[in-house]
Amino acid sequence: MLIVISGLPGTGKTAVAAGVAARLRAVHLSIDTVEDAMLGAGLAPGWQTGVAAYEATRAAAEQNLALGRDVVVDAVNDSEPARQTWRRAAERAAAAAAAGTDCGGGERCRAGGMARVTSARRGIGGGSGGLQRV
């Protein structure tokens, strides 16, 4: 299952996603954490780095879905292309599961649905989650 938590910056997406992931024992992936690491590695801030963070996170989500793990992603998702990223990831995971793709260890991929939860518009955490560059 792929769950995507969307909302404006500072609304508590990461806190909600971390709680949901802990409760479900799912993998938690955050766009901000990935983008912060990219900026820390010397990539220039900007649109291309932001898109690269979404794509890197999508790839990690798809790998985990293919292994049968539930994934919770938190991201602003402020554009249709960003939201489409997660629809494509869910569709690919469902297609692999329907085809009975072997996910390793003789197990079959598990189909994953996608849900989008939008957090409140005003901040609940008020923090940057310890990120230094995002």
Residue 68 lies in a domain: yes
Query: Please, which residues bridge with residue 102 across strands?
Result: 108
Confidence at 131, pLDDT banded by 50, 70, 90: low
Total tally of structural domains belonging to the chain = 1
Q: What is the domain-level CATH number for residue 91? A: 3.40.50.300
Q: What is the pTM of this model?
A: 0.76
Residue 97 lies in a domain: yes
Q: Is the dihedral of CA 98, 74, 13, 80 positive or negative?
A: negative
Confidence at 87, pLDDT banded by 50, 70, 90: very high
Report d(CA 134, CA 113) in Å as an integer.
29
Residues 6+ apart with CB under 8 A from 21: 27, 28, 72
Give pLDDT, residue 109. Answer: 46
What does the pLDDT look like over 21-44, one tens digit per residue? 999 999 999 999 999 999 999 999
Residue 21 lies in a domain: yes
Domain range holding 108? 2-118
Q: Are 31 and 74 in contact (CB under 8 A)?
A: yes
- Chain-centre distance of CA 21, in angstroms? 11
